Amino acid sequence: MQPTIKPTPTQTQTIPEPIFTSRWIVSPTYDLFFFIGSCMFTLVFFGLYQIAHQFKFFLHGDSILITYFIFTAIFDQPHIFQTFSRTHLDKDEFAKRKHTHTWGLLIFILTGFVAIVSGYESELIVFAAIFGSYHIIRQHYGFLRAYKGINHDTQTIDNWIDYGLFYTGMFACFFNDYTDIKGPIVIYKDLKSFFPSLPPQITELVWFIFIVFLVVFVIQQLWKLANGKAINLPKILLLIATISTHYFIFFATATPFLVAEALETVYHDIQYQGWIMHYQRRKYPHIRNVVAKWLGLALAYGLVVGVIEICGLMYRGWAMWLFVPFTMVVIYHYYVDGLIWRFSKEPELRKLLFEQKNC
C-alpha cells in the first residue's frame, strides 16, 4: 500500500492591481476620437485660418469668413440641429417638457427679434458668447463626471482635487480672454460689441489657484502609483485635452473673434456629435441607419444656416434678420442641454447610455 501524499497548502497568489482603470463610455477607439482626441480639430482650424487667405476662389480669400463658414456650416450648426433628436423626437422628453420645446422655443425666437428691433444686437452677441463658453465648459465637466463615475473614481478627496483642477484651469483661461479689454471687440468689419473687462488680478489669482491644484493633482497620482492604486486614465486624458486646448486658445494664440469662436467650439461640436450618435444608437436601435439619417439632416441644416449667416455678416441686410431665429435656436440649445442630460433625475437614461454593450 502506497502512502497517501497530502497536498501541501499553496500560498494564495494575489493578482496585482492594474496601473490604470480604463472603462470607456462607448469604446476606447470611439471615446478617444470623439470625446477626447477631437480637441486636435482646434489645431486643424488654426492651421486652416493661417492658410485660408490663399483660397482666393472662395469668399474672396477672406480667411476669417472661410474659417468661420467651414466651422459653422459643417460642425457648429449641425451639432445644434442634433439636439432635436433628444428633445422633439424623444417622446418621453417631449412629453415631460412639451411647453419648453414648443412655446418656450417660440419665445426664444421672438426674444431675438425684439432684441434686434430694440437695438440690442451687440448685447445679444455678448450674451450668446459668454453663455456659449459656459455651456462648453459644462459639457466637458459632464464627460469628466462620467469618466469618474464609470471608473469608480468618486472618493471625496479625488472629487475635490479633480473638479477644482478642472474649473480653475478652464476659468483661468476663460477669464484671460476677458481681461483688460480696451474698447469694443470687432466681430466682423463694422460689427462690434462691448465685452466685460475683468481686472488682470482676477485671472492671476485663478491661475495661481489652478497651479496649486495642478501640483496637488500630480502628487496625488504619484502617491497612487507608489501605493499600488489604479489611476483613472480616461479622466487624465480628458483633463489634458480640455485644459490644454483652452490654454492654447486663450493664452497661446491671438485670433479674430469669429476664428476664436471656431477654435473654442469645434472640439465641443465633435464631442457632442459623438455623444448624440451614441444616444441615437441606444435609443432607436429599431430605426435603420438612424445615425446616418440624422447626420445627413444635420449637415443639410448646417449648410443652409451657414450660407445665411455668412451672407448676414457680409451684407448686414435681410440675411442678418433671417438668421435671428437660428441664433436663438443656438441659445435654446444652450439652455435645454442643461435640462435634458441630468442623469441623477433620469436613471433610465443613465442606464441606457452607460450600460456596457457592443455598440
Q: Which residue has the higher pLDDT, 122 or 320?
A: 122
Reported as a single tens digit per residue, the pLDDT across 2-15 is: 444 455 554 445 55
- Give the type of residue at 7: P
What is the per-residue pLDDT for 13? 52
What is the per-residue pLDDT for 19? 84
Cα Rg of the chain (Å, integer): 24
Determine the Cα–Cα distance for residues 332 and 327; give it in Å rounded to an integer: 9
For residue 28 the three cell numbers come to: 476606447
Reported as a single tens digit per residue, the pLDDT across 28-52 is: 999 999 999 999 999 999 999 999 8
| Overall average pLDDT of the 129-149 stretch | 95
Altogether, the residues listed in the chain come to a count of: 359
What is the per-residue pLDDT for 17? 62
Helices (H) and strands (E) in the chain, counts: 15, 4
pTM: 0.91
| Overall average pLDDT of the 307-317 stretch | 85
Q: Are 277 and 293 in contact (CB under 8 A)?
A: no
Is the pLDDT at 191 greater than 60? The verdict is: yes
CA neighbor of 297 nearest in space, from 273, 270, 322: 273
Determine the Cα–Cα distance for residues 263 and 249; give it in Å rounded to an integer: 7
3-state helix, strand, coil in the chain (%, to 5): 75, 5, 20
Burial of 85 (0-12, 13-18, 19+ CB in 10 A): buried
What is the per-residue pLDDT for 177? 85
Determine the Cα–Cα distance for residues 79 and 41; give it in Å rounded to an integer: 15
Determine the Cα–Cα distance for residues 229 and 47; give it in Å rounded to an integer: 41
Reported as a single tens digit per residue, the pLDDT across 205-243 is: 999 999 999 999 999 999 999 998 999 999 999 999 999
Of all residues in the chain, the percent with pLDDT exceeding 70 is 94
Q: Measure Cα distances from 269 to 73, 172, 274 in Å.
A: 12, 22, 9
When mean pLDDT is compared across 73-77, 119-123, 171-175, 230-234, the lowest value belongs to 119-123
What is the per-residue pLDDT for 81? 97
| Overall average pLDDT of the 178-204 stretch | 87
**pLDDT band at 58; cut points 50, 70, 90:** confident
For residue 20, the cross-strand partners are 231
Is the pLDDT at 75 greater than 90? The verdict is: yes
CA atoms within 13 A on the CB side of 60: 5
What is the per-residue pLDDT for 129? 92
Determine the Cα–Cα distance for residues 6 and 10; give it in Å rounded to an integer: 12
